Amino acid sequence: MRAEQLKGHLDGLLLAAIDNGARHGYAVMEAVREATSGQIDLPTGTIYPALHRLERADLIAGTWSVVAGRRRRYYTLTQAGRTALTGHRTDWRDFAATITAALESRPWPSTA
Amino acid sequence: MAEHSLNEHSLIAAYRADLQARLPADLADEVLDGLAEAHDKYLRLGLPPDQAARAAVTELGDPRTITDAFRRADPARQLARTLILSGPAVGGCWAAALTTARAWNWPLPAAIPLLMGLTLAASAALLAAAATTQRYRAGRRAGTAGSLGIALLDTAAITTAILAAPASPWLFTAAACASLARLTHIARTLRRCPISYMW
């Protein structure tokens, strides 16, 4: 699945990847990949700038640590991020239910 | 910038040098931590060091592509584009207000309009550079400097409108509101742009 196809859902995916605790950028990449059985494999150039954008929007908070001699930036959800994630989940369930109902319904009656 | 071991694989070292040349230290360190994680993962999976390094570099992607993605998402660059697009509208408001008030008859020292004109020209050039450059740090610097120049002009224009007590207050009010909105947007955006990202 390509990044363009995720338009509108990227933020929700990233927030969900951080929902269970602090993660660094590469761990977020792996979490999204694993949660979608490899169907969504977001490139570095999508993940990191998006995390920075979410941080500027106060939806996640970043902190630096040093691990194995390397600087590592961990991200956690803020309260606003939790609220936004709940909204993304609700919106997705409503959207998926609506589209599923339309696609799996009986053929529409003719208007002729 | 993060330390790195002396026995670092040459492919990883080359990638590190390339990325560090393109991006500010904080951004480069964050991506390079991901590269090291990927490298460790492939080594744990049993790949020989050469293959593990190649797989990690491939997975992270080309440093130029990563830099381009950061550049496109850079708030200072996006601010520069917004200011370029909104500039004619805000400038038009001021031009209408100043023309109606016959501002050329105001008792101002000649240096003031000259300084404002030079600041506008320099700011416009910096914003154009920020919006078009391929270099992340140069774009951040140009975008910030150009935006500050526009903020300075807006502040000067609003102050002038208040002090000059113009004959057509509604035109000046409209122009001042446009400048105030622009000032607020500039302040909000630059507040979230770390200064360290300029170098």
Tokens (6 digits) for B46: 């049993």
Burial class (CB in 10 A: 0-12, 13-18, 19+), B196: exposed
Residues in A 31-90 with any Cβ partner in B closer than 8 A: 43-46, 48-50, 52-53, 56, 67-73
- Closest among A11, A10, A16, A25 to A64, alpha carbons compared: A25
Q: Any chain B CB within 8 A of the CB of A24?
A: yes
Sign of CA dihedral A37, A40, A46, A49: negative
Taking a C-beta distance cutoff of 8 angstroms, is the pair B157, B179 a contact?
yes
Question: pTM (2 decimals)?
Answer: 0.88
Chain B: residues touching A (Cβ < 8 Å): 2-5, 26-27, 29-34, 36-38, 60-61, 65-66, 68-70, 72-73, 75, 192
Tell me how far CA of residue B126 lies from CA of A27, B159, B177, B188, in angstroms.
Answer: 37, 24, 24, 19
Alpha-carbon distance of A97 to A94, in angstroms, equals 5
Report strand pairing: A60-67 vs A70-77: antiparallel
Q: Where are the domains of chain B?
A: 10-69, 74-198
Disruptive mutation site among B6, B29, B37 for chain A (greatest number of A CBs within 10 Å): B37
Contacts of A31 in chain B (CB under 8 A): none
Tokens 């917004």 found at: B82
- Is B73 within 8 Å of A49 when comparing Cβ atoms? yes
Tens-digit pLDDT string for chain B (199 aa): 544 555 788 999 999 999 999 999 999 999 999 999 999 999 999 999 999 999 999 999 999 999 999 999 999 999 999 999 999 999 999 999 889 888 888 888 889 889 999 999 999 999 999 999 999 999 999 999 999 999 999 999 988 878 876 666 888 889 999 999 999 999 999 999 988 888 8
Which member of A43, A56, A72 has the closest CB to residue B33? A72
Would you identify the CATH topology of the domain A3-100? Answer: Arc Repressor Mutant, subunit A (1.10.10)
Taking a C-beta distance cutoff of 8 angstroms, is the pair B156, B116 a contact?
yes
- State which H helix or E strand residue B24 sits in: none
